[in-house]
Structure 1
Amino acid sequence: MSVPLSVLDLAPISAGSDARQALRNTIDLARNAERWGYHRYWIAEHHFVAVASSAPTTLIALIAAATESIRVGTAAVLLGHHTSAAVVEAFGTVDALHPGRLDLGLGRSGHRGDQLRSAGVPPVPNPDRRTEVRDGVVIPPPFIPGQLLDTSRIAAGLEALHLPGAQPLPYSEQVQQIRDLLTGHYTGSDGVHLRAVPGEGADVQLWLFGSSGGESAQLAGELGLPFAANYHVSPGTIVETVQAYRAAFRPSDRYPRPYVVVSADVVVAEDDDTARHLASTYPHWVYSIRSGAGAAEYLDPATAPPLSDHQLRLVGDRVATQFVGSPATVAARLDALREFTGADELVITSVTHRHEDRLTSHRLLAREWGLNHVRAA
């Protein structure tokens, strides 16, 4: 295939296991992903749920120490939970020991209003749009979670993550602060010049992440930054998201043209039937997220009860856009997604109950995609 493939990991916790094992599994998968030819290994940030990626910067430091060459990063640091100085100093610390390998991915979720309204999936128009298949890519109606989610758990989590009375900065302002701290141009409100030590001059790639054609996509374009579009989270908005980024793009020194990574959720096995069995509890996992309870432990397909029709309807868009099957089946669908979106790179996330099956999923796809023969820009 013609573009690099990367990994997005949440360090999921399987039913009957725990966070310690999930973190060991992440380190093991990262080492293998490097050996199989994946270009990047990104860690998501989630809190108070059954995934072990609540401290992504700490985790990427551990992954960088356990690997040699694969790029490692966040997908993404949720800026509403962190000060700009804390982000830059943390990345500067890791970069000092593993220079030139870090991707500093930033996301705007984490701001109280955003999460209470939509739990990270922005509201979009045209909720009555029907599912379409465009050039082999499933484009479902946008999911509007506001009327469906119980937000009480989200509110409690945000209260625990934020100091009393603290107000997150506007997203664009905080992104600029981070850029200024990295380049040594940060000045406080009183005119005092401050230097991030470590952090200033760190050789990190700055990325923005988004699920809509809103602020993140437009800001990434205006700043000439690379952008990651979340098809796996919000498949119904992928077209608008990518178009908004490209329309806003202004060339920068590092990126003379737009650079888009598109995400996809995959499960790969030796044959389609086996893959479908391994993926059969993915709807349960997505339902736990969309119900407002947060990501639950990932269930064993052999023992999980079936979901009701109502529950399945709530997750139908995500199930229809998960890429499940043999290596050839999944690679063909990923290539269609690449062609349809014009992606310069794809990032895949793959969750199964057993760690061995997750390893197999990544290994089979790497071989089918021909990763050892693909080079990134």
Structure 2
Amino acid sequence: MTVPLSVLDLSPISEGSTARDALRNSLDLARSAESWGYKRYWVAEHHFVGVASSSPAVLVGLIAAATNTIRVGSAAVLLGNNTAAEVVEAFGTVDALYPGRIDLGIGRSGQRRVEALRAVAAGKTVPGAPRETVVREGVVIPAPFDISGLLTSPRLQASLEALAFPGAQAPEFEEHVGEILALLNGTHRTRDGIELHANPGEGADVEVWVFGSSAGPSAELAGKLGLPFGANYHVAPSSTLEAVQAYRAAFRPSDTLAEPYVVVSADVVAAEDDATARELASTFGHWAHSIRSGAGAIPYPDPATALPLPEREGALVEDRLITQFVGSPSTVADRLEHLQKLTGADELVITGVTHSHEDRLRSYQLLAREWGLPALLAA
């Protein structure tokens, strides 16, 4: 049986357009994705860059209001930027109006940055096992990319400081997640034993997810708590398999899940034929390089006017380029099937960016048809 497909939307701002355009495009894509049979519509959290998904809870509420049945959520709220109370009250507010449709995805990006800063201060780098790019059962597993330079870039540090009060420190990830779950189920107590009840938030019918990029604390905690797990192949393709394996090894049945449940992400651009898709995706490297260089995501470049990406810059994002799924619907679907089989994913979440909103809509529509999503077949 074919696994469900879902959408991860960054609300990209295209070159020559605005954040207003990007947000309106997100609402349009969400309504279309619902009609085409996608299971969920998730939004990311990014700040001070050329994407408009800076406030996940607000955007989740707007998308829930603009749709009827599709599940809507975050992938992911970054706990380093938000307190447990802020997260629970925000998503509890949305759930109060759209009950049973909201996913609360959380990630530990803030903690990863702190760890990277400590490592650099100690004269170390973020560890990564050296290896060559390989292909396993039709899936490209690239050599790891050392993210320590990115996480410690001055611009990113400035952004982090702008998102928190001076001297503020986020709790350890496990403690932070525990606070969220306690606030949701009404068992939260302060260090002094004082009861706090989030209203709205307590008793909210939200589905809590944990997202991770490696076989580290996120994967292990998701398994230990019996929560569903999202593995980021589109961001960290070198460590996706290890992350999924760590999650399954740590999994314990819970009131939420009797068995592990994994969603794996993939970056996709589909078009009527392979050549057209390659042209639409030809500036993905430029966009990915702006992120990897520490400058922050630029507005997505127009393939009609962009110069070719220099070889040196292309080398910095090679792992992202060779793991992007680009081509005709059948080409993309074939590669997605290999990814699903290798990871054992219960669901795939598709993210994709093109300069033209119409091309992005068409990409998702073509894939939905090729994959056989039920709403499209019934239409």
TM-score, normalization by structure 2: 0.95
Letter in 2 for 1:145: I
Which segments of structure 1 move beyond 3 Å, counting only runs of 4 or more? 114-118, 147-150
Shift of 1:193: 0.7
Q: Give secondary structure in 2 for the equivalent of 1:212.
A: coil
Alignment of 1:1-377 (within 5 A): 2-111=2-111, 112-114=113-115, 123-127=126-130, 129-147=131-149, 151-372=153-374
What is the rounded CA distance, in whole Å, between the counterparts of 1:253 and 1:373 in structure 2?
30
Shift of 1:254: 2.2
What is the rounded CA distance, in whole Å, between the counterparts of 2:73 and 2:151 in structure 1?
30
Q: Structure 2: which 5+ runs fail to align?
A: 120-124
Aligned residues of 1:131 and 1:140 also touching (Cα < 8 A): yes
Shift of 1:145: 2.6
Shift of 1:95: 0.3
- RMSD across aligned C-alpha pairs, in angstroms? 1.5
Shift of 1:281: 0.2
Q: Structure 1: which 5+ runs fail to align?
A: none
Residue number in structure 1 paired with 2:122: none
What is the rounded CA distance, in whole Å, between the counterparts of 1:67 and 1:148 in structure 2?
36
Shift of 1:328: 0.2
What is the rounded CA distance, in whole Å, between the counterparts of 2:216 and 2:152 in structure 1?
24
Aligned residues of 1:117 and 1:146 also touching (Cα < 8 A): no
Q: Give secondary structure in 2 for the equivalent of 1:8.
A: strand
Q: Deviations over 1:207-265 (max 9, x none)?
A: 00000000000000000000000000000011111110000000112211100000000
Aligned residues of 1:149 and 1:290 also touching (Cα < 8 A): no
Q: Structure 1's 275 and 314: CA in aligned 2 closer, same or farther, altered over 3 A?
A: same
Q: Deviations over 1:151-205 (max 9, x none)?
A: 0100100110001111111110010000000000001111111110000000000
What is the rounded CA distance, in whole Å, between the counterparts of 2:251 and 2:158 in structure 1?
37
What is the rounded CA distance, in whole Å, between the counterparts of 2:275 and 2:116 in structure 1?
37
Shift of 1:306: 1.3
Aligned residues of 1:116 and 1:151 also touching (Cα < 8 A): no
Q: Give secondary structure in 2 for the equivalent of 1:166.
A: coil
Q: Structure 1's 124 and 264: CA in aligned 2 closer, same or farther, altered over 3 A?
A: farther
Q: Give secondary structure in 2 for the equivalent of 1:105.
A: strand
What is the rounded CA distance, in whole Å, between the counterparts of 1:219 and 1:131 in structure 2?
28
Letter in 2 for 1:325: G
Letter in 1 for 2:16: G
What is the rounded CA distance, in whole Å, between the counterparts of 2:246 and 2:4 in structure 1?
23
What is the rounded CA distance, in whole Å, between the counterparts of 1:60 and 1:89 in structure 2?
13
Q: Give secondary structure in 1 for the equivalent of 2:272.
A: coil
Shift of 1:115: 6.3
What is the rounded CA distance, in whole Å, between the counterparts of 1:101 and 1:335 in structure 2?
27
Letter in 2 for 1:330: V
Aligned residues of 1:262 and 1:343 also touching (Cα < 8 A): yes
Letter in 2 for 1:371: L
Aligned residues of 2:36 and 2:375 also touching (Cα < 8 A): no
What is the rounded CA distance, in whole Å, between the counterparts of 1:232 and 1:291 in structure 2?
17
Shift of 1:116: 5.1
Letter in 1 for 2:374: N
Q: Deviations over 1:1-41 (max 9, x none)?
A: 61000000000000000100000000000000000000000
Q: Give secondary structure in 2 for the equivalent of 1:110.
A: helix
Letter in 2 for 1:208: V
Aligned residues of 2:188 and 2:196 also touching (Cα < 8 A): yes
Shift of 1:114: 4.3
Letter in 2 for 1:186: H
What is the rounded CA distance, in whole Å, between the counterparts of 2:95 and 2:23 in structure 1?
21
What is the rounded CA distance, in whole Å, between the counterparts of 1:147 and 1:58 in structure 2?
31
Aligned residues of 1:232 and 1:263 also touching (Cα < 8 A): yes
Aligned residues of 1:124 and 1:142 also touching (Cα < 8 A): no
Shift of 1:123: 3.9
What is the rounded CA distance, in whole Å, between the counterparts of 1:265 and 1:101 in structure 2?
24
What is the rounded CA distance, in whole Å, between the counterparts of 1:238 and 1:247 in structure 2?
14
What is the rounded CA distance, in whole Å, between the counterparts of 1:179 and 1:59 in structure 2?
22
Q: Structure 1's 240 and 123: CA in aligned 2 closer, same or farther, altered over 3 A?
A: farther
Letter in 1 for 2:129: N
Letter in 2 for 1:365: L
Shift of 1:150: 6.7
TM-score, normalization by structure 1: 0.96
Aligned residues of 1:115 and 1:154 also touching (Cα < 8 A): no
What is the rounded CA distance, in whole Å, between the counterparts of 2:42 and 2:337 in structure 1?
21
Letter in 2 for 1:42: W
Aligned residues of 2:280 and 2:303 also touching (Cα < 8 A): yes
Q: Give secondary structure in 1 for the equivalent of 2:145.
A: coil
What is the rounded CA distance, in whole Å, between the counterparts of 2:266 and 2:318 in structure 1?
15
Pick which of 284-293 and 247-256 moved more: 247-256
